[in-house]
Amino acid sequence: MAISALSPKTTSIVADCTVQSFPGADGLAAPPAQRKPAGPQPVQVSVADAPPYLRRSYILTGYPAARTYGTAAYHTLCGYNNETLNAWTMIVGLVAMTWMYFAARAWFPSENTAFLVFLLSAICHTPFSIGLHCFTGVSVNTRDRWRVLDIGMIATCCVPRGAALAWYVFSQPLFYYVFVLALALDYMYCLLSIMYWRGLSHDIPKKVIAKDLAMLVSVYPLPVLLAGVQETLVLGAAGPALKLYLGMAASLLLAAYLYAEHIPECWHPGRFDRFGNSHQIMHILVIGEYALEWLFMCHMAGKHAISA
């Protein structure tokens, strides 16, 4: 008898039985085409399989997929996903910063305090940036937590970093302490505005993040500009301090622009997934800017040693 000839109630019962008789229904084994492949969970996924919070514009492959802290750190630092070089550029930068400190300590043994404050203000942030890149694939909450720590430490460390740069610039202690206090209040305001008024969720556009970071790093190098203006007035031409400041400003502006505009990955999506993308270039430019700050410290320490 055809199903269409049965009563509506009977038709429903037969239809239900027919559906349940297929493999895969009610706990029965699914056909081979529907079964998930056996084996360990992948440690990298493409953009199609990555959770939405991980996806970045023009990055198509290499997203970290490890779900525990240990495996995430191992596969990022010892593997090759699209966060590996982000983490390693920070690690190499940390090593370079430490070398700069010991080199300056050997050249200017009497100026150890200023260079030590300068080193600590930079490296205190670095572990949180490394953690962000190592653990970003664990979960969205983990990613957001480490981003808060990363941005928060950038703002916090800018205060002693600016104080170190101003060490040789303000001849009067009162001016120096007023500058450091103003710097601390400014960064407290910036940090509160970023964390609590805008928030640090995973869906903030990169242009907004670049703008926030530019706001954070645009204030503390002002002593370098002041020293450059003073030298220019004395020499009648641009001195080393002003040239270093212009180099610092150019490095930070270029880093923010490339990061915000996704250059160069926007030109060839998928080609720069693991190597040469805007985030890695931004790290390199920021480390180069730190080196220019260190050269300014050496320049001012040399002048201080000569005048002493």
Give me the pLDDT at residue 202, please. Answer: 53
Rounded Cα gap, residues 290 and 278, in angstroms = 18
Structural domain includes residue 7: no
Q: Known binding site: residues?
A: 133, 279, 283
C-beta of residue 65 within 8 angstroms of C-beta of residue 48: no
User: Is residue 38 over pLDDT 50?
Assistant: no
Structural domain includes residue 12: no
Q: What percent of the chain has pLDDT over 70?
A: 82
What's this model's pTM, rounded to 2 decimal places? 0.81
> Across all residues in the chain, what is the average pLDDT?
83
Give me the pLDDT at residue 87, please. Answer: 97
Rounded Cα gap, residues 111 and 97, in angstroms = 17
Structural domain includes residue 163: yes
Using DSSP's 3-state secondary structure scheme, residue 261 falls into helix
Q: Known binding site for Zn(2+): residues?
A: 133, 279, 283
Q: Report the CATH number that the domain containing residue 116 is assigned in CATH.
A: 1.20.1070
Q: How many domains does the chain have?
A: 1
Structural domain includes residue 126: yes
| Residue 306 phi, psi (nearest 5) | -70, -40
Give me the pLDDT at residue 209, please. Answer: 75
Determine how many CB atoms are found less than 10 A away from the CB of residue 42: 12
User: Which of 294, 249, 259 lies closest to 93 in space, CA to CA?
Assistant: 294
